[in-house]
Amino acid sequence: MNIAVFASGRGSNFSAIVRAVKKGKIKACLALLICDQPQAGVISRAKRAGVKVALVERKDFPDKANFEARIIQILEENKIDLIVLAGFMRILSPAFVSHYKGRIINVHPALLPSFKGEHGIKEAYDYGVKVTGVTVHFVDEEMDHGPIILQKAVPIEKDDTLETLEKKIHRIEHLIYPQAIQLIMEGRLKLEGRKVSIINSVEPGPR
């Protein structure tokens, strides 16, 4: 199975996936990084890891449809089975999501459906909740909305700052995102409507 990671920033989740693949915790080929930002730190991480990089900048295309058409072309050329969003700062169109239905996943730094959007950690911290966490979910046509694969709670302690909370959240992301990917590779997820169940029998993964 071939995985493509989509990322726009530093790439800490990308590196966690690289480590999991190397340790055999994800039994798949990390075949490709799709990045839309030429200065993103994740590009250097990918090059050090020997992962192929495709830089696709939105400014090079007349509209979003052509931008995404180029990405689809690259994915098809590289025979990608699963798309893993890891800080990709663009909302994918409904047409793109439909094209890869059930084959796009995302990690979000909060317990969905709470605190959707880009600033989930800060919003949970500012709101004063006692527990936040991390969600891995399938991507659908709505932002931070698709069926939930895994969640893990993270308590917010009295002495936590925003910075310490961010570090705690990122540690959990790096733990459960590879777990979710491997469940998909093993064909152990059963999707019924918005509910995802983990099954024991191993079936073929995507495609």
Which ranges of the chain have pLDDT less than 50? Answer: 202-207
Tokens in use for 42? 């994740």
**C-alpha distance across the termini of the chain, in Å:** 9
Is residue 119 part of the annotated active site? The answer reads no
Q: How far apart are CA 137 and CA 114, in angstroms?
A: 13
Query: According to the model, what pLDDT value does residue 206 have?
Result: 47
- Of the candidate CATH numbers 3.40.50.170, 3.40.50.300, 3.90.180.10, 3.40.50.1820, the domain formed by 2-198 belongs to 3.40.50.170
Three-state DSSP class for residue 182: helix
d(CA 133, CA 111): 5
Q: Let me know: does 173 contact 154? Beta carbons within 8 Å.
A: no
Looking at the whole model, is its pTM more than 0.95? Answer: no
**In this predicted structure, what is the pLDDT of residue 12?**
96
pLDDT of residue 204: 46
What is the reported pLDDT for 110?
Answer: 97
Contacts with 48 (C-beta within 8 Å, 6 or more apart), sequence order: none
Catalytic residue among 108, 145, 170, 174: 108
Tell me the residue type at 53: V
**Measured distance CA(42)–CA(178) in Å, rounded:** 17
